[in-house]
Amino acid sequence: MTGEHEPNGEMIEINDDEEQQEVQKLKVKVSPVKPTPVEVEDHRCSHDPYRSWCKLCVMGKALGERHSETGEHAIPIIGLDYFYVSEGGVKVKAELELGDGPEVEDKIAEQRRSGALVKALIVRDHMG
């Protein structure tokens, strides 16, 4: 037998056999609702809504500011994009009809040098 002191100073007796007894391991129940293979496949495409059983949902869970239904944000959000201005009007790169491949960048650069094409930047402040 060994002895230990209680907070009030009294000595209590502890049986050595009690100290060495094994404790039953804690049992944790698995979620009673497991998704069906069809639910897993449907969820895999969009991961919406969040599912606690989905490893990717859990890994990607954001810790930042939640999106608001009203569109209001505590932090201003700035969006940037570019476009081209030509005689034909305002166009995005895909609408320039300069073909495909690595030579497209060379064609754009040539038209910009000649003044036939102007690259412009647009900045938008999404105030909420």
- The answer to whether the beta carbons of residues 53 and 35 sit under 8 Å apart is yes
Distance CA(74)–CA(83), nearest Å, equals 29
For β-strands 2-5 and 11-14, DSSP reports them as antiparallel
pLDDT of residue 36: 87
- The answer to whether the beta carbons of residues 122 and 84 sit under 8 Å apart is no
First and final C-alpha spacing in the chain: 70
pLDDT of residue 32: 66
52 beta partners: none
- The answer to whether the beta carbons of residues 72 and 128 sit under 8 Å apart is yes
Residues of the chain falling short of pLDDT 70: 1-21, 28-32, 62-73, 127-128
Residue that has been written with the tokens 């998704």 in this structure: 35
Cα dihedral 27/31/35/36 (nearest 10) = 50
Q: What is the pTM of this model?
A: 0.40
